Chains A and B, each alone.
Chain A
């Protein structure tokens, strides 16, 4: 009853203007992409509430049960694996894990790269030379190879793995931050704040960072799907997230064994990976057109 009342009441025009109207102007593809990502975020945040079963719960009577509409039952809408574990439950936990890794990886890469870029632009001379050399090195080797050798030398654990993902594409942010800071220093506003006596932390954090944030955010929409792909690739090879934890790539790698008898184990996480990376790319392209003045 209460719900119907709120629906019947006209929406305050300010909310309408601020949220609904711009939404209607979004292109359909972007809208679909945003909806899919919203769904993924809800799944990741509410994973504990949404879980139909524990991810290790066996249902031995329903082993390799196909998904609903393919001869399966409502009890296991996405089917089960060969131990009778519910695919949808594992999928939910995998989405949470993969998004978490990608989120932290992106944040680490952005922070690390931006700080190094600022340092290079601030100190110039040998600091800059050193950072530029590191950028060259990172850019000259495929990151998957670097990641694999680090995993070989150090072994694998989840914190290490997440930290490692944070080293992916930091050099992109370092380049952007350095380049834009050098430009900003010539533009006068940074010099003006410096003349007023602001400390470097204030100049970079409160004046230069907001000015280059849009370019950094656009780059984050590139890094995020790249880390999802990298993480799932490594996990697929059995060198990323280790069981009993599960991630999307992990599930695909495991489902590969059953590709003839139970392709749904592999198809469900594969679909999620493709749709998620596709959605972020679409949204990122659109954001780039909207946000990044350097590309106009």
Chain B
């Protein structure tokens, strides 16, 4: 188990290194970073000073090493817009994003998993068909369309909830619903198919045949096995807690990480984009690592299997 954890940890670190290399390569491919970050009309002395400060006059390999070194200490440079350290700008937005993505995650799990299990246990019933129809709709409807429909109904027509902003708790309701309902649809679909897959396995038949009550077959034989693929989806959703609300935050003018990303991309504030990329990659990788660990705990077969493909 320790070896398993170590190999997964190594892989997580490699992925982060890969993301940082990606940012480095893309930044260098796109032109002179000094000109991009400083803006074209900066005085030549400033550009020269910037080049020296960032080591841009060094060979590319030295640049790469020092970039990685800076990145590991959380130093991504300063935002072009307001001159504050980029990482600070990013980290101060994280709580606002979590304030809507965490309740949304609870909604996804609390609605999606029971609905999926129920649909699987009552296959081809009316409830199953309704669940699947809603889930397909949730699957194919882009979040901004759902968000705008909710605004149209609850803010514009009924006037119950505010359409955008972040002044009160009521402002968080529509973003949470938008994120939660869409995710619950995906969750329900996966849980249902995982459950159906498990219910078709011989060990379920064996358990029923030896006289275990159906209720116990479900709770002790089917659910633990169906949990394995479901954990993957939950893990993916946990990984996207930080970055999964880009569009929704923009629709509702919610001051989170996603909205910062959109404005940083629109302004080409590269230091902030790099810092965001790092924070998002770190959160995704940590979630993947947690999923791998949960796998090892849920499924002993994974533990002994060699890492890799």
Contact = CB atoms under 8 A, between A and B. Distances in A.
Nearest to B147: A256
Pairs A-B, 10 closest by C-beta atoms: A152-B265, A277-B140, A153-B30, A270-B145, A278-B140, A152-B273, A137-B18, A153-B26, A148-B265, A236-B144
Given A137-B15, A239-B265, A260-B156, A149 B136 contact: no
B171 interface: no
A270 B27 contact: no
Contacts of A149: 23, 26, 265, 273-274, 276-277
Contacts of A136: 11, 15, 18
Instruction: Give chain B's interface residue range (CB within 8 Å of chain A).
Output: 35 or more
A54 to B, nearest CB: 27
A292 B142 CA distance: 27
B130 interface: no
B230 interface: no
A142 B284 contact: yes
Contacts of A155: 30, 268
Contacts of A154: 26, 29-30
A229 B142 contact: yes
B153 to A, nearest CB: 11
A225 B141 CA distance: 10
A236 B29 CA distance: 27
A144 B276 CA distance: 13
Secondary structure of the A contact surface, majority rule: helix
B238 interface: no
Interface string A269-292: 010011001100110000000000
Contact of B261 (A145, A256, A259): A145
A140 B277 contact: no
B145 A274 contact: yes
Interface string B17-47: 0110011001101100000100000000000
A233 interface: yes
B214 to A, nearest CB: 28
B140 A237 contact: no
Nearest to B280: A145
A233 B247 contact: yes
A47 interface: no
A252 interface: yes
Secondary structure of the B contact surface, majority rule: helix
A259 B142 contact: no
Given A145-B246, A154-B26, 11 more contacts: A137-B15, A137-B22, A140-B281, A142-B243, A145-B243, A148-B246, A152-B269, A153-B27, A154-B29, A252-B144, A274-B137
A126 to B, nearest CB: 15
Given A149-B265, A153-B27, A153-B273, A266 B148 contact: yes
A263 B152 contact: yes
B50 to A, nearest CB: 17
A232 interface: yes
A283 to B, nearest CB: 12
A249 B273 CA distance: 23
Interface in A239-270: 239, 249, 252-253, 256, 259-260, 263, 266, 270
A132 interface: yes
Instruction: Give chain A's interface residue range (CB within 8 Å of chain B).
Output: 35 or more
Contact of A259 (B27, B148, B266, B288): B148
Nearest to B139: A281
B284 A237 contact: no
A81 B140 CA distance: 27
B188 interface: no
A83 interface: no
A200 interface: no
A150 interface: yes
B140 A142 contact: no
B244 A142 contact: yes
Contacts of A277: 140-142
A133 interface: yes
18 contacts: A136-B11, A136-B15, A137-B18, A137-B22, A140-B15, A149-B26, A149-B265, A154-B26, A155-B30, A233-B143, A237-B262, A239-B266, A252-B145, A253-B144, A274-B137, A274-B140, A274-B142, A281-B140
Given A137-B22, A141-B19, A237-B247, A152 B145 contact: no
A238 interface: yes
A148 B262 contact: yes
Nearest to B268: A152
Contacts of B268: 152-153, 155
A151 interface: yes
Contacts of A274: 137, 140-142, 145
A249 B139 CA distance: 17
A136 B18 CA distance: 10
Given A137-B22, A256-B251, A259-B152, A151 B265 contact: yes
Contacts of A238: 266
A249 B144 CA distance: 9
B191 interface: no
B26 A150 contact: yes
